[in-house]
């Protein structure tokens, strides 16, 4: 497992911080785009 999972976890934490700052509705399109880029 190792670093890949750590990297994903780090991204999830970053997204959570963005949610708190921007608000869920405004950041939803950004999240959708970010998830597409992760694949």
Domain extent for 26: 4-38
Number of domains in the chain: 1
Q: What is the pLDDT of residue 3?
A: 84
Look up the pTM and report it.
0.42
pLDDT reported for residue 17: 86
Q: Quick one: pLDDT at residue 21?
A: 78
Q: What is the dihedral of CA 4, 27, 19, 31, to 10 degrees?
A: -20
Neighbours of 1 (CB within 10 A): 5
Count the helix, strand and coil residues of the chain and give each as a percent rounded to the nearest 5: 90, 0, 10
pLDDT at position 37, please? 77
Q: What is the pLDDT of residue 23?
A: 66
Tens of pLDDT along 1-39?
578 888 889 998 998 887 787 766 665 676 777 778 776
């Amino acid at each position: 497992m190792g670093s890949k999972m750590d990297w994903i976890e780090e991204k999830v934490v970053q997204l959570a911080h963005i949610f708190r700052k921007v608000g869920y509705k405004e950041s939803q399109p950004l999240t959708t785009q970010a998830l597409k880029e992760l694949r």
